[in-house]
Chains A and B, each alone.
Chain A
């Protein structure tokens, strides 16, 4: 862990200013990811701008939806009565992730900004394009069973680790940011980016911009949702594949489908063609299988016994099951680890 400068900001403007005042600044809120990265010497911030005192921790009604303050903790959001009744998909996704202790510390903004998951990114003894652009991707051809099958590039195959963001992608949340050039809104699908040839950049935030809120649109999906997370143990593990599904049904037909996947790409993965394919179709296993086939048709895997080829079939089956759960109105329980 390097030596760094520390500034505590009282307002958003102060935070933005303090950030710009030093090389290699990082905002810090819960610190549940950043501190780990600093201990591993992956992040070497010149300055930490502590934003925990900013008045951004409220959850408020807005335009028929909810505005989640960037500093509302993961636990606060997951257990908020309005979130639980109107956006249970989000509550369930949050509770499927991390541990109670981490959720108490981790913030909404920080959840969006956690770095991608990859053994090699976290190990400074190995080359990594994300840490040192141009040094090469060690994961390709290496131990890659946890890595991405969608949207990868020759430069990076890391995955976004968040559960919450998968639900936010399905709900089409909007990220509110503030920065040196003022405020702007970023649709969730455009917030995280694919690695391409610059995997060092995880999001479309501009330098010095800070997430101030996440807006949940008014649209709700009633009981027809699920967050299904498949992992190497039944709690406290990142998703190998997760599925956030939400359906609007018209009788036994699908009116609208939202489908987002976690653990399979550098960002929460949506495939709008697959969602459109479901429109007007009967809410049956056959329809769901067709949608799942469409999603996994784009998969590209890493070979070998330590590769991730299994994720394609796992994702296909998880999508079908997730859509079945959503259609039946029997979302995956967070406490009962049996899968419905």
Chain B
């Protein structure tokens, strides 16, 4: 890797393991979250959640709640203030096509758990108590929340969601070729509905300032999105609203779109002219976004040697009645494997639920699980090692994008290095052949893939007279390490110690950046920060040259290096000047710059950009009792340059654990009679606990990429993709039982 941030040609911080710069604030409780900010006379709103999934509210009686001392108002659809009229006004930056949900809009019930009232009181306890006294009568209708039942009326979404590639047109004749193929696999796969459940529940605190403007703390993965939403929905000028969110207790996509608690807190604050906070309860975290259920069929036809001849991947996925949520589910099959006859289809079916939302590697978790399980089935059907099968059908071109080559693809290295670390060569391919005491041992492998994206972003850098540097923009750090990597980039670019750099995020007063999602933040905001710092460096250099007796007087910018707080002539450190002296001599108290960064159109015209991984899983199964222990995972990742191996590893660990949840535990269980998720708490919705997690080894393979100046490709989602398939494949290897409906729970093992 030749590209460096430092003008010295050698990065001091980037590429090295660094602890989180925000760690001390988080572990000491100094870090404040959206529901923790306060104001004098703050009011508390408590949401009353609806009980039915479809129908109308026939009566809503708030008298008893309003009679409770301390209750200020109960907002319902009957007395809500007017807000914007058109759907357009409610469509946030990442909204899918449709009519966004509007809380308290009218008497219509769209889904179970829909907010039907907001009780506003002087304190939280009073609001919560009074909320139990609100009486709602309904005229219920029969809801449809069974995807299998609704699949018959599935449709191609007429309006495509921005940024989501629809399936490519089919090529070849997959049906006919499948029929005549020597080896065939055609199976159905499903993945249960999952809810994001970050540690921090969704919350918004709206503070009414003395000048009538609003300071809003919102749990969001990018404050600009909430800002745009608020100003549009409430008809406010941009300068009247400031949205901040310095920290998130996890998002996983649930914080990409402004959620209803923000709307309600703003509505109440506008109505009452007072500051209002609304925090959702844990069970209300089941009342909005989720990873949708999907029904998938994968058909693979191959020669006896495993060469793919026909590939079809069809998915029907749920959406709400009011929006056409879409994600990329089936395209991955065409991206991953070379095949002459391919058909990929993706349809939606409308259910009486809230609109699904992006959840860590949306679509890829779902679709890659299916194709990577089917490939394992094909490996057994053809009698070929599953890695060999994948290498046989390896592609260096993206067939779903007119055969454009990949900008970089070190997937072969992932297989090689991962297999080596895992000890794959010692695997007996025969199912049920490996045992340890009572337990059957299974080894499985799968591929992971995710898009490598960059978005238009901006950032500023301000070098102060004291030599300290501030950089920042409006994006959010979800707990992923964004503060840390931006600090590393800035420190190396201007040759400062990390301690002298402060990174500020999550504030609409800062230069605009997109929501943090899609694994694009490192590339997008990282590049913008680097450019802003370079701009500052050039300005400081110009000032330095004009200093009296400047040691840099006749030197070009390309020939100086920024290090240890000084500008020096490269190769001649004796000729240098301190940054603080430059500013003092120039009589300025700061040097600042704002820079824009965006995707490289030339590169994108020539190449397709993806991150890849190979995941190896070991399970030990007490077959008689249906108990699966996941004892080992090796995740080998090809994702370009790694800015910080420590936070990068943590990203992958988190993704792997989430994949373990998908494979073995996570499932929001819908009672289709009433259209309601029933296990809506963390005691009954199982995410992995420490006892479920053993050895997870993360390998970053060498990969050079030129899509952006940093060489990074993003790490937020790749860790989860394919993990569930590797585990399901290991379960098959252990037991000889192919379970095609995740999660793989006790009942399915003993069935």
Contact = CB atoms under 8 A, between A and B. Distances in A.
Given A125-B51, A236-B689, A310 B132 contact: no
B673 A141 contact: yes
Contact of B629 (A120, A126, A138, A234): A234
Contact of B692 (A123, A126, A230, A234): A234
A54 interface: no
Interface stretch (A18-26, A190-198, A312-320): A312-320
Contacts of A287: none
A227 B34 CA distance: 44
B745 interface: yes
Contacts of A52: none
Contact of A230 (B439, B625, B691): B625
A234 B691 contact: yes
B129 A339 contact: no
B418 to A, nearest CB: 25
B283 interface: yes
Nearest to A125: B51
Given A1-B128, A314-B626, A337-B629, A233 B689 contact: yes
A59 B689 CA distance: 32
Contacts of B437: 338
- Count class of interface residues, chain B: 35 or more
Point out which of A2, A39, A125, A317 has the most chain B C-beta atoms below 10 A from its C-beta: A125
B679 interface: yes
Contacts of B50: 125
Interface in B659-706: 664-665, 669-671, 673-674, 676, 678-681, 683-684, 686, 688-692
Nearest to A145: B747
Nearest to A120: B678
Interface string A1-18: 111000000000000000
Given A1-B128, A235-B692, A339-B625, A142 B686 contact: no
A310 to B, nearest CB: 4
Contact of A2 (B129, B681, B684): B129
Contacts of B128: 1
Contacts of A317: 624-625, 750
B622 interface: yes
Interface in B605-628: 620, 622, 624-627
Contacts of A123: 283, 676, 678, 680
Contact of A234 (B676, B679, B689, B751): B689
A119 interface: yes
Contact of B750 (A120, A126, A314): A314
Contacts of B751: 310
A122 interface: yes
A162 to B, nearest CB: 14
Interface in B715-751: 745-747, 750-751
Contact of A321 (B49, B625, B688, B745): B625
A119 B678 contact: yes
Point out which of A40, A142, A233 has the most chain B C-beta atoms below 10 A from its C-beta: A233
Interface of A: 1-3, 39-41, 44, 119-120, 122-123, 125-126, 138, 141-143, 145-146, 230-238, 240, 306, 310, 313-314, 317-318, 321, 337-340
24 contacts: A1-B125, A119-B669, A119-B678, A119-B679, A125-B50, A125-B52, A125-B112, A126-B674, A142-B678, A143-B669, A143-B670, A143-B678, A230-B746, A232-B745, A233-B664, A233-B689, A234-B692, A235-B691, A236-B689, A313-B750, A318-B625, A338-B437, A338-B622, A339-B622
When A and B form their complex, which 5 residue pairs have the shortest distance between CB atoms, in order from nearest? A125-B51, A235-B691, A310-B747, A234-B691, A119-B678
